[in-house]
């Protein structure tokens, strides 16, 4: 099969050939009364024989089922996006130096309509061609570390990112930007918050919800916000820069341990949970929203602690959950379990024996809440008190995702159970917020 | 050990005896510079020997550690709350009849300060004594089905609740109210939405975040809202009545399949996800917020479908998740797996083999998003297309919790895989919302 039809087979391939269409062409598919127009793009190697994938004008892709009555017409050659040749940007020597590291994801890519392949576009000159404003904010050194969709980022990658960031933090770099897919951006932000301690400069993660080839793309504004923060922000912490609202007016800077992806498609998907963002950027102007942050200090010496241990599980409780799943983790050498319990930090009494087993096997069992917002309090009801008595560790208002990352990180530092417990309860990277009145209302 | 010291042993018991205190007494515990005053309450049978549990003035309980330097003083006898004898309420014959069923939880309880035990308080006369306004809204028939904290409610209880509700729906009952703990109230609301089809009258679940013995209790206002909806609302669906905002001014009525507990402690913890509440109640006046609802019709015949099958798992994906956990479910006879993936509906490629195994073993694998808000779209990125090609079923904008309940319910109806898939994709109880423009912004 030629590359032109990559992924298509059977009926779908037959129909495409009959229409004399190729990957990249604009085609119209008519199924009874419904018609779809879009660019024919390649399909997954796991694909069946009955669907054709179109990139619609909106930028989204859909799969259209081919039946005996389906009509396919080729209505045009795909409009190949022409990327301007990179302008001859002269780096302005007075501007701060910012290192940009790409790990992949939507923000780091543009779609090649010819093949449908996603291409990383993060050499400095590519970036300047897509976002020319960057040249007025900073001198950029762009490097590609990986090209991964972020659902494929694992704790091993967190280690590699942390080590790579540490290498970029030299005497004359004012900040680091990490381009990353949004799916697990919150997890990586938490991971780097623990792995990169005592930072001299800001480390800003950034993603985008719509690729640069879509009219509604947030890639450029997010990137400008991230580079602005890296170059000029007064704080030296791991943070995440994304749209604050659905419109393009403001970028919110969220603390790495307190942020979560809260919408599948909106541009303002990331929210600071149980706290406010630490800063807002509008028109390249940074407004700090808290006074409680670690100040930038180029003389501070980074403490790199990049190890993570994957023998930590996140288990979300639900009615009817089989507690044997906890025993499975004991038998499979797990060192820690983060429970995503209900309400103030509960799971069913049917899980108590399994939890007791885990604690007796020297496994750390700690509690967070699937409510997402609010603080757990295991002293209010019997279930909570019983769980505390069994040895479950209550984790205040930490996100379940951050708790999981933190426990992986702790076991990367030590296997001494007393030390693990102590670190788990210690506020290392602002993962616990101060108790406020409003959370009680 | 006498009941007076139930649960206490070792050092804690010794310290209590030395202070000549009993359960129910007000005591002051001084640990170095910190002092705590509160009512001595019984502790968990799992309790250690070093903590004493106090109910503070705020209504919350804390555990105070006893050391050699701890001082305990008895400073008073516990102020026993005096519940007024139930007023001689004359049920007003013209008022609509509402059946209230209690399953337990904070709303259905009051704390007996003498023993610390939580007592269900849901006889009709108890209810009138706590919330006298109810007598002006409806004629109430109150029954206690269970007294369970909702984290202990399982799918078997959903079946019992559904069957019990069905029995209450007689010719002259205008609506049913179910009092239930808030922890898993959303899950039960979803379960009843599938189990009670073709309802003639509304079925309103209600909970409270603060028990009736706390000054900030939401129990009375929520209950008034729920009874008002059951008695008078124009819709006949399963819904949930809770505070709309932190203040007492409005009760939101959420559709049973679209609602989730989103804060550990706030009174407005329940939110309709990807849709608005269906109604708002202010001053016992009901305002519908949608025109898309099933109208009340006393002649409609309820279709009771109360069976659930627990061989369905909810698995939340996280970076570093061991895909073997999916295989464990295959080996243990599971029929369905709801994945709580990232973003638009992704999990790592490291899980693909296990998912393929599951699908090849005739296990239903379906996708939801841990973002909570938004709709999944598995045609946008490679990971999504690959997962679709593997046979993973995309579940639109359904909540992961509702998806899990729905699949348990479907397997309670049929084991025919084609029929299961068809039902999973069918909008049975408004669990899928219409696509709107705003979700794309």
CA distance from start to end of chain B: 64
Closest alpha carbon within chain B to A390 = B46
Q: Would you say A145 and A161 are in contact if contact means Cβ atoms under 8 Å apart?
A: yes
Give the nearest partner residue to B262 out of A264, A314, A373, using CB atoms. Answer: A373
What single-letter DSSP state applies at residue B357? H
Same domain, A167 and A261: yes
Residue A202's nearest CA partner among A248, A238, A242 is: A238
Residues B176 and B285 in one domain: yes
Q: Above 50 in pLDDT, residue B85? A: no
Point out the residue among B60, B182, B344 whose CB comes nearest to the CB of A264.
B344
Q: Do strands B34-40 and B26-31 pair parallel, antiparallel, or not at all (unpaired)?
A: antiparallel
The CATH number of whichever domain residue A381 belongs to comes to 3.40.50.40
> Which token pair is A203?
């480390």
Helices A352-360 + A324-331 axis angle, to 10 = 20
CA angle B313, B316, B318 (to 5 degrees): 145
Whether A153 is covered by a domain: the verdict is: yes
Put simply, the answer to whether B374 touches A183 (Cβ < 8 Å) is no
Per-residue pLDDT of chain A (441 residues), as tens digits, is 334 456 788 888 888 888 888 877 888 998 877 888 888 877 765 667 788 888 777 666 677 888 888 888 888 876 554 444 445 566 777 899 999 999 988 877 765 544 455 566 677 777 777 788 899 999 999 998 988 999 999 999 999 999 999 999 988 899 999 999 999 999 999 999 999 999 999 999 999 998 776 777 898 999 999 999 999 999 999 999 999 998 888 999 999 999 999 999 999 999 999 999 999 999 889 999 999 999 999 999 999 999 999 999 999 999 999 999 999 999 999 999 999 999 999 999 999 999 999 999 999 999 999 999 999 999 888 899 999 999 999 999 999 999 999 999 999 999 999 999 999 999 999 999 987 645 444
Catalytic status, residue A368: no
Same domain for A284 and A135:
yes
**Residues A14, A20, A23, CA angle at the centre, nearest 5°?**
85
CB pairs under 8 A between A and B: 245
Q: What pLDDT, on the 0 to 100 scale, is given for residue B125?
A: 76
ipTM score: 0.84
Sheet holding B26-31, edge to edge: B61-65, B51-55, B34-40, B26-31, B71-76
How far, CA to CA in Å, does B296 sit from each of B161, B222, B234, B429? 21, 22, 5, 15
List all residues 6 or more positions away from B209 whose beta carbon is below 8 Å from its beta carbon.
Answer: B106, B182, B218, B243, B265, B266, B267, B269
Distance from CA of A139 to the nearest CA of B (A): 32
Q: Are B253 and B241 in contact (CB under 8 A)?
A: yes
Rounded Cα gap, residues B48 and A389, in angstroms: 6
Q: How far apart are CA A355 and CA B46, in angstroms?
A: 12
In a domain, A91, yes or no: no
Of B61, B348, B349, Cβ closest to residue A380:
B61
| Residue B83 included in any domain | no
Q: Chain A within 8 Å of B322 (Cβ-Cβ)?
A: yes
Query: What is the number of domains present in chain A?
Result: 3
By residue count, chain B amounts to 441
Please answer yes or no on whether B371 and A262 come within 8 Å at the CB atom.
Answer: yes
The secondary structure of B185-246 as a DSSP string is HHHHHHHHHHHEES-SS-EEEE--SS-TTSTT--HHHHHHHHHHHHHH-SB-SEEEEEESSS
CA distance A434 to A436: 6
- For residue B121, being part of any structural domain is answered with yes
Same domain, A293 and A347: no
Q: How far apart are CA A118 and CA A102, in angstroms?
A: 14
Q: Which of B262, B325, B344 sits opposite A371 (nearest CB)?
A: B262
User: What does the alpha-carbon distance between residue A50 and residue A116 come to, in Å, rounded to a whole number?
Assistant: 19
- Domain boundaries, position B164: 97-304
Contact predicate A100/A141, CB 8 Å: yes
Residues B18 and B12: their CA atoms lie apart, in Å, by 10
**B327 and B238 part of one domain:** no
A279-282 and A270-272 as β-strands: parallel, antiparallel, unpaired?
A: unpaired
Token pair of A387 as six digits: 């769980």
- Spatial CB neighbours of A277, under 8 Å, sequence gap ≥ 6: A244, A252, A253, A254, A255, A289
Chain-chain contact of A325 with B322 (C-beta, under 8 angstroms) = no
Inter-chain CB proximity A439 and B155 less than 8 Å: no
pLDDT digits (tens, 9 = 90+) for B231-277: 999 999 999 999 999 888 899 999 999 999 999 999 999 999 999 99
B318's tokens:
């996280």
In a domain? residue A351: yes
Residues A319 and A293 in one domain: no
pTM for the model: 0.84
Distance of alpha carbon B9 from alpha carbon B19, whole angstroms: 15
Residue B389 sits in the same domain as residue B287: no
How many angstroms separate the CA atoms of B115 and B93, rounded?
39
Residues 276-315 of B with CB under 8 A from A: 308, 310, 312-315
- The pLDDT tens digits of the residues spanning A284-330 come to 899 999 999 999 999 999 999 999 999 999 999 999 999 999 999 99
Residue B270: name the closest of B285, B257, B283 by CA: B257
Q: How far is CA B397 from CA B147, B193, B408, in A?
A: 33, 17, 18
Calculate the alpha carbon distances from A83 to A112, A113, A118, A125, A260 in Å: 10, 12, 14, 12, 33
Asked whether residue B135 is assigned to any structural domain, the reply reads: yes
Cα separation, B95 vs B81, in Å, equals: 32
For residue A381, give the nearest of B45, B149, B340 by CB distance.
Answer: B149
Q: How many angstroms separate the Cα of A389 from the Cα of each of A362, B45, B57, B345, B359?
A: 15, 9, 23, 38, 41
Cα separation, B117 vs B104, whole angstroms: 13
Residue B125: strand, helix, or coil: helix
| CA–CA dist A273, A275 (Å, integer) | 5
β-bridge mates for residue B100, sequence order: B142, B177
Q: Strands B173-179, A139-144: parallel, antiparallel or unpaired by DSSP?
A: unpaired
How far apart are the CA of A28 and the nearest CA of chain B, in angstroms? 18
B261 noted as active-site residue: yes
A407 and A317 in a common domain: yes
B288 located within any domain: yes
Looking at beta carbons, which residues of chain A come within 8 Å of B38? none
Assess whether A118 and A222 both reside in one domain: yes
Q: Is B182 a catalytic residue?
A: yes
Chain A interface disruption, residue of B183, B357, B375, most A CBs within 10 A: B183
Look-up: residue for tokens 């007000």? Answer: B26
Tokens encoding A297: 């200090």
Catalytic site includes residue A261 = yes
Q: Which chain B residues are within 8 Å of A274, Cβ to Cβ?
A: none
Are A376 and A255 part of one and the same domain?
no
For residue A38, CA distances in Å to A17, A78, A241, B46, B382 come to 17, 9, 32, 63, 18
Q: How far is A76 from chain B (nearest CA, A)?
A: 22
B48 secondary structure, DSSP code: -
Q: Are residue B396 and residue B331 in the same domain, yes or no?
A: yes
CB contacts of B267 in chain A (<8 Å) are: 441
Residue entry with tokens 């030629």: A2
Give me the catalytic one of A97, A261, A335, A406.
A261
Torsion of CA B164, B257, A315, A405, to 10 degrees: -150
Q: Which residue has the tokens 């009219």?
A: A215
**Strands (DSSP E) along A327-392, which ranges?**
336-341, 364-369
Residue A195, SS3 per DSSP: helix
Q: Same structural domain for residues B167 and B208?
A: yes
CATH of the domain at A61: 2.30.30.520
Which pLDDT score, from 0 to 100, does residue B128 have? 79
Is residue B82 included in any domain, yes or no? Answer: no
């Amino acid at each position: 099969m030629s590359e032109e039809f990559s992924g298509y087979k059977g009926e779908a391939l037959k129909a495409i050939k009959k229409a004399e269409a190729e990957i990249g062409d604009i085609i119209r598919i008519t199924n009874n009364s419904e018609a779809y127009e879009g660019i024919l793009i390649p399909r997954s190697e796991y694909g069946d024989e009955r669907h054709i994938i179109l990139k619609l004008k909106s930028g989204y892709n859909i799969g259209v089922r081919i039946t005996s009555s389906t009509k396919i017409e080729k209505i045009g050659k795909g409009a190949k996006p022409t990327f301007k040749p990179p302008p001859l940007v002269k780096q302005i020597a007075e501007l701060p130096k910012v290192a940009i590291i790409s790990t992949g994801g939507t923000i780091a890519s543009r779609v090649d309509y010819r093949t449908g392949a996603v291409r990383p576009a993060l050499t400095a000159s590519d970036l300047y061609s897509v976002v020319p404003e960057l040249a007025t904010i900073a001198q950029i050194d762009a490097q590609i570390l990986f090209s991964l969709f972020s659902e494929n980022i694992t704790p091993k990658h967190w280690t590699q990112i942390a080590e790579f960031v540490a290498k970029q933090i030299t005497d004359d770099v004012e900040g680091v930007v990490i381009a990353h897919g949004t799916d697990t951006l919150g997890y990586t932000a938490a991971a780097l918050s623990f792995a990169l301690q005592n930072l001299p400069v800001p480390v800003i993660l950034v993603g985008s919800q719509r690729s640069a080839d879509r009219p509604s793309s947030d890639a450029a504004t997010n990137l400008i916000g991230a580079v602005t923060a890296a170059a000029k922000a007064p704080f030296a912490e791991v943070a995440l820069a994304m749209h604050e609202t659905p419109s393009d007016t403001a970028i919110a800077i969220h603390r790495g341990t307190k942020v979560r992806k809260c919408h599948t498609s909106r541009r303002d998907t990331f929210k600071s949970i149980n706290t406010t963002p630490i800063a807002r950027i509008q028109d390249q102007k940074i407004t700090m929203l808290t006074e409680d942050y670690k100040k930038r200090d180029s003389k501070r010496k980074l403490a790199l602690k990049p190890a993570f241990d994957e023998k930590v599980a996140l288990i979300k409780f639900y009615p009817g959950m089989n507690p044997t799943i906890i025993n499975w983790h004991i038998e499979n050498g797990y060192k820690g379990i983060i429970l995503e319990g209900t309400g103030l930090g509960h799971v069913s009494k049917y899980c108590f024996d399994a939890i007791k087993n885990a604690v007796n096997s020297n496994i750390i069992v700690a509690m967070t809440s699937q409510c997402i917002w609010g603080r757990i309090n295991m002293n209010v009801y019997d279930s909570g008190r019983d769980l505390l008595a069994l040895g479950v560790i209550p984790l205040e208002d930490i996100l379940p995702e951050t708790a999981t990352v933190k426990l992986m990180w702790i076991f990367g530092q030590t296997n001494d159970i007393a030390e693990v417990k102590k670190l788990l309860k210690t506020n290392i990277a602002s993962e616990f917020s101060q108790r406020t009145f409003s959370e009680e209302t």
